[in-house]
Amino acid sequence: MVKSLKTSLNRTKPLINFVHANGFPAGSYQTFLNYFLEDYQIVAQEKYGHNPKFPIHNNWQYLVDELIVYLRQQDEPVICIGHSFGGVISFLAACKQPSLFKGLIMLDPPAMTGVMSWVLKVVKNTPYIDKLTPAGKSKTRRVHWPVNTNLNHLFNKKRLFKDFDARCLNDYTNSAMAFRNERIELTFNAQAETEIFRNIPTNLSSFRNKLTIPAALIYGESSDLNLTLFFKRFARKNKKIALHSIAGGHMFPLEKPMETAALINKVINQWNLESLQIL
């Protein structure tokens, strides 16, 4: 039942690297990424936070290193698309190793700066972090189900998944679940998911204007993750970042995969046009 992301490697096309949200293996985005296959190569590491060589630590610093190592394995710089957690570690990696990137697109990243960043820093090593982040829910997440469970029907009733495109929900249950030990088990380690939430970066202000590549931040207009104010503040601290919005919640790439891909293509085409004008 495990379904890894099907990637495309055609070295005549530009290369997109995708980085998943916390708790959602890259295979969860198969339908969304299929919209890019005609014009791009696609690569993606299936899960971050599961390699003991790159432990989950404060400000996700070793997970950023894990992404950098993965990008160095590619033959060329990438256009990096990251959702939520994936958007933040992609931003940090691009600030540290810009030569590995052609561009960066962040989808509803938890980019905390200002007062909220300070608050999270203060409570990060206390039980209160579980109240201010999704860690409070993920630490009690159910991790196995009877073998005959209709997973799509089960998850479609949950608030986080209720607006998912049916194809994307199917991608998620196929990639995040597996038949093991005579039952269905979660493949994304729930403890790893919880620790990732607990170690949310609170140092993003220290990367002010260190981004040197074309970048965009797309946020969901009804996202409950961040107020628009947070995104605008983050963009002001990084002049390379252009802000865009799209209808949908925090999970909009899996709610509206076609519309999200269309907006991303529009952003990339604008970068290409601007590059030609400079030449």
CATH code, 34: 3.40.50.1820
pLDDT of residue 1: 29
pLDDT of residue 228: 83
In a domain, 10, yes or no: no
In a domain, 4, yes or no: no
Alpha helices in the chain (DSSP H): 30-34, 61-72, 85-96, 114-123, 129-132, 135-138, 151-156, 166-176, 190-198, 228-236, 252-255, 257-278
Low-confidence ranges of the chain (pLDDT < 50): 1-4, 279
Sign of CA dihedral 79, 85, 89, 94: positive
In a domain, 6, yes or no: no
Q: How many domains does the chain have?
A: 1
pLDDT of residue 279: 44
pLDDT of residue 110: 94
pLDDT of residue 3: 38
In a domain, 143, yes or no: yes
pLDDT of residue 269: 94
